[in-house]
Structure 1
Amino acid sequence: MNRLLLILGIAFLLFSCSSKSDKTEPKDEATIKQDQKMEWWREARFGMFIHWGLYADPAGEWKGEKIPGISEWIMARAEIPVAEYEKLAENFNPGKYDAEAWVKLARFAGMKYIVITSKHHDGFAMFHSKASKYNIVDATPFDRDPLKELADECKKQGIRLGFYYSQAQDWHEPGGTYYNIEQGKPHWDPDLKREPLMNYINNKAVPQVKEILENYGGLDILWWDTPRGMTEEAAQALQNVVDDYPDLITNNRLYKGWKGDFSTPEQHVPPSGLDYDWEVCMTMNTSWGYKWYDQEWKSAKDIIHMLTDIASKGGNLLLNVGPTAEGEIPKASVDRLKEVGVWMQKNGESIYGTSASPFFKLPWGKCTTKEVKGHTQLYLHVFDWPKNGILKVPGLKTRISDVYLLSNPNQHFAWRFVDGDLQIHAPSVTFDEINTVVVLKTKSKIEITSNKPTEKEGSILLPADFADIYNPGYGEHALLSGSGTKSVIHNWVDARTRLEWMFSIAESGVFRVEGLVRTSGTAKIKVKCDDKELDAEISATGDRFETVNFGKIELTNPGDQLLSLLPDRDNWNNVELMYIELIKE
Structure 2
Amino acid sequence: MKKLITALLVLASANAGSAAFGAQPAPTAAPSPRPAAAAETLRPSPATIEQWRDRKFGMFIHFGLYSLAGGQWNGRRIDNGYSEQILANGNLPPKAYAALASQFDPVKFDPDAIVALAKAAGMKYIVITAKHHDGFNLFGTKVTNYNIVEATPYGRDLVKELAEACKRGGVAFGVYYSTIDWHHPGGNRYIEGNSNPITPAQEAFNVAQLKELLSNYGPISEIWFDMGKPTPQQSLHFERTVHRLQPETMVSGRVWNHQGDFTVMGDNAEPSVAVEEPWESPASMFPDTWGYRAWEVRGDVSGKIHEHIGRLVRVVSAGGNYILNIGPESDGAVVPFEAEVLHGVGDWLKTNGQAIYGTRAQPFKALDFGYATVGPHTLYLFVEKPPADGRLRLPGVVDTRLGDAAVLGAPGVSLPVSTDADGAVVDISQAAGLGGGFMPVIAVPLEGALHVRPKAVAPDGQGRARLVAANGEAFLRHDGYGYADPPKIYKMGWNVGLGPGRYVAAIAYKPVAKARPASLVVDGRAYPLQVGPSGHAAITIQRDPAASPYAMRLEITPPAPIGRADHLPMVVRSVELRPN
Q: How far apart, CA to CA, are the structure 2 residues paired with 1:261 and 1:61?
A: 37
Q: How far apart, CA to CA, are the structure 2 residues paired with 1:140 and 1:122?
A: 16
Q: What is the match of residue 260 of structure 1?
A: 260
2:385 is the counterpart of 1:369: no
Q: What is the match of residue 327 of structure 1?
A: 332
Contact 2:214 2:245 (C-alpha < 8 Å) held by counterparts: no
Q: Structure 1, residues 22-57: CA drift from partner, whole Å, max 9, x if none?
A: xxxxxxx97996312212101101111111010011
Contact 1:454 1:504 (C-alpha < 8 Å) held by counterparts: no
Q: What is the match of residue 540 of structure 1?
A: none
Matches within 5 A, 1:414-493: 414-426=416-428, 427-431=430-434, 432-450=436-454
Contact 2:178 2:225 (C-alpha < 8 Å) held by counterparts: yes
2:172 is the counterpart of 1:153: no
Q: How far apart, CA to CA, are the structure 1 residues paired with 2:326 and 2:239?
A: 28
Are residues 143 and 558 of structure 1, via their aligned partners in 2, closer, same or farther at CA, if it must alter by over 3 Å?
same
Cα distance, 1:184 vs structure 2: 11
Matches within 5 A, 1:334-373: 334-372=339-377
Q: How far apart, CA to CA, are the structure 1 residues paired with 2:142 and 2:99?
A: 20
Are residues 108 and 453 of structure 1, via their aligned partners in 2, closer, same or farther at CA, if it must alter by over 3 Å?
farther
Contact 2:417 2:426 (C-alpha < 8 Å) held by counterparts: yes
* 1:101 aligns with one of 91, 95, 113: 113
* 2:408 aligns with one of 390, 406, 420: 406
Q: How far apart, CA to CA, are the structure 2 residues paired with 1:182 and 1:281?
A: 17
Matches within 5 A, 1:61-460: 61-67=72-78, 68-167=80-179, 169-176=180-187, 178-180=189-191, 197-202=199-204, 204-228=205-229, 230-242=230-242, 243-254=244-255, 256-266=256-266, 267-286=268-287, 287-295=289-297, 299-372=304-377, 377-397=378-398, 398-426=400-428, 427-431=430-434, 432-450=436-454
Q: Which amino acid aligns with 1:446?
A: L
Contact 1:46 1:307 (C-alpha < 8 Å) held by counterparts: yes
Contact 2:195 2:227 (C-alpha < 8 Å) held by counterparts: no
Q: How far apart, CA to CA, are the structure 1 residues paired with 2:114 and 2:67?
A: 17
Cα distance, 1:237 vs structure 2: 4.1
- Secondary structure at the aligned position of 2:213 is classed as helix
Q: What is the match of residue 50 of structure 2?
A: 39
Matches within 5 A, 1:47-58: 47-58=58-69
Q: Structure 1, residues 43-88: CA drift from partner, whole Å, max 9, x if none?
A: 1011111110100111111222221110011101122232121111
- TM-score (norm. length: structure 2): 0.68
Contact 1:110 1:344 (C-alpha < 8 Å) held by counterparts: yes
- Secondary structure at the aligned position of 1:410 is classed as coil
Cα distance, 1:433 vs structure 2: 3.6
Q: How far apart, CA to CA, are the structure 2 residues paired with 1:185 and 1:414?
A: 58
Cα distance, 1:146 vs structure 2: 1.5
Are residues 151 and 402 of structure 1, via their aligned partners in 2, closer, same or farther at CA, if it must alter by over 3 Å?
same
Contact 2:413 2:431 (C-alpha < 8 Å) held by counterparts: no
Contact 1:263 1:279 (C-alpha < 8 Å) held by counterparts: yes
Contact 2:367 2:394 (C-alpha < 8 Å) held by counterparts: yes
Are residues 454 and 111 of structure 1, via their aligned partners in 2, closer, same or farther at CA, if it must alter by over 3 Å?
farther
Are residues 264 and 456 of structure 1, via their aligned partners in 2, closer, same or farther at CA, if it must alter by over 3 Å?
farther
Corresponding pairs, count: 428
Are residues 304 and 172 of structure 1, via their aligned partners in 2, closer, same or farther at CA, if it must alter by over 3 Å?
same
Cα distance, 1:238 vs structure 2: 3.0
Q: Which amino acid aligns with 1:214?
A: S
Matches within 5 A, 1:430-579: 430-431=433-434, 432-450=436-454, 557-558=573-574
Q: Which amino acid aligns with 2:432?
A: V
- Secondary structure at the aligned position of 2:154 is classed as coil
- Secondary structure at the aligned position of 1:299 is classed as helix
Q: How far apart, CA to CA, are the structure 1 residues paired with 2:161 and 2:372?
A: 38
Are residues 258 and 392 of structure 1, via their aligned partners in 2, closer, same or farther at CA, if it must alter by over 3 Å?
closer
Are residues 95 and 454 of structure 1, via their aligned partners in 2, closer, same or farther at CA, if it must alter by over 3 Å?
farther
Q: Which amino acid aligns with 2:252?
A: N
Are residues 356 and 236 of structure 1, via their aligned partners in 2, closer, same or farther at CA, if it must alter by over 3 Å?
closer
Cα distance, 1:178 vs structure 2: 4.1
Q: Which amino acid aligns with 1:361?
A: A
Cα distance, 1:281 vs structure 2: 0.6
Are residues 30 and 138 of structure 1, via their aligned partners in 2, closer, same or farther at CA, if it must alter by over 3 Å?
closer
Contact 1:52 1:323 (C-alpha < 8 Å) held by counterparts: yes
- TM-score (norm. length: structure 1): 0.67
Identity of matched residues, %: 34
Are residues 31 and 135 of structure 1, via their aligned partners in 2, closer, same or farther at CA, if it must alter by over 3 Å?
closer
Q: Answer 1 or 2: which has greater strand percent.
A: 1
Q: Which amino acid aligns with 2:573?
A: N
Cα distance, 1:378 vs structure 2: 0.6
Task: Point out where structure 2 has 5 or more consecutive residues left out of the alignment.
Answer: 1-39, 466-491, 497-505, 509-570, 576-580
Contact 1:453 1:503 (C-alpha < 8 Å) held by counterparts: no
Contact 1:379 1:439 (C-alpha < 8 Å) held by counterparts: yes
Contact 2:306 2:438 (C-alpha < 8 Å) held by counterparts: yes
Cα distance, 1:367 vs structure 2: 0.5
Are residues 69 and 34 of structure 1, via their aligned partners in 2, closer, same or farther at CA, if it must alter by over 3 Å?
same
Are residues 105 and 274 of structure 1, via their aligned partners in 2, closer, same or farther at CA, if it must alter by over 3 Å?
same
Q: Which amino acid aligns with 1:434?
A: F
Cα distance, 1:451 vs structure 2: 5.2
Cα distance, 1:236 vs structure 2: 4.3
Cα distance, 1:349 vs structure 2: 0.7
- Secondary structure at the aligned position of 1:291 is classed as coil
Contact 2:55 2:125 (C-alpha < 8 Å) held by counterparts: yes
Q: How far apart, CA to CA, are the structure 2 residues paired with 1:116 and 1:446?
A: 39
Contact 2:194 2:228 (C-alpha < 8 Å) held by counterparts: no
